[in-house]
Structure 1
Amino acid sequence: MKAIVVSILMLMLSYSIVFSQNGWMQINSGTSSSLSNEFFLNENTGWICGSYGTIIKTTNKGVNWILQQSNMNFELSDIHFINENTGWAAGGVFEFPGTTNNRMNICKTTNGGLNWNVILNETDFDNRLTVIYFSDASEWNCAGQGRQWFGYNRCHQKNFERRH
């Protein structure tokens, strides 16, 4: 019985060594903010968003990260770019369903993230916005907590439609 237990332990140890994930290493992002999502446009250029409006950018495969000034103080949960200049970040404030402080925001940059502008500030919103996707500069989809929305043309509140 002891030989069987030792054999099983040796087999498990050799399996973990053979299939270990070599090559992973921790990288310093340059921020202490919680990071929530990333988007890479190509193998070199990418952005990460997070709490307190944090947006960081890399142009060298993540070796170095540059903190971009979003001038936003809410959580960003997703980020998406359609080219090296034009991108959007989505997020907002969500305390509890039915509270008056809930807010959904979508921000846009047209210069690679050097400057960001809030293009949608939806108040009285009872869902956390967690995903945003743009097929081009005029059509976008976003989702959160089991609901989906679709925008078109210019991103203004009047053309912000809820999809079920």
Structure 2
Amino acid sequence: KTREYSRSIEIIFAVVGIFMGLLVFFARSFPVSLYTEISDETRALAMQLLAIGAISLMGTSYHMACFTGINRGAGDSRFVFKVDMICGWLVVVPLSTLTAIGYLNEWAPFFTLPLVFLCTRIDQCFKWIIALIRLRGNKWIKNVTRD
């Protein structure tokens, strides 16, 4: 039963994530158009940032449901903690810091604000793969009931 329920939750949140990500991506010009007194450069920057957010939303919706709902609910919170710590402290923080410093100090033209934002969201783009792999195995199911 646990596998059946988890599979249903996975499918629901994958579909919701894709739908919401596509909705934000294709509707991103609406909130930007509400700001009439901004420059074209600012408008383009806002469109890029919203596109990055929309794409990362797809992965976030799936992996958050898997990690916080399925894995933690099944007693696999130690694995979720390790993934969050490794992704956060070994990937997101160093990349975000490096790109932010590069952007602020104008080290190179490729250090842009969208790149800095992408680096803050980069773990959302691959955590869903980790969640998918983990849920295909048997290690995540633990007996969390009292005997």
Which TM-score tier does this pair reach, normalised by the shorter chain? under 0.3
The structure that is helix-richer by fraction is 2
Q: TM-score, normalised by structure 2?
A: 0.22
The structure that is strand-richer by fraction is 1
Looking at CA atoms only, which structure, 1 or 2, has the larger radius of gyration? 1
Q: TM-score, normalised by structure 1?
A: 0.21
Compare relative contact order (CA 8 Å, sep 6+) and give the higher one, 1 or 2: 2
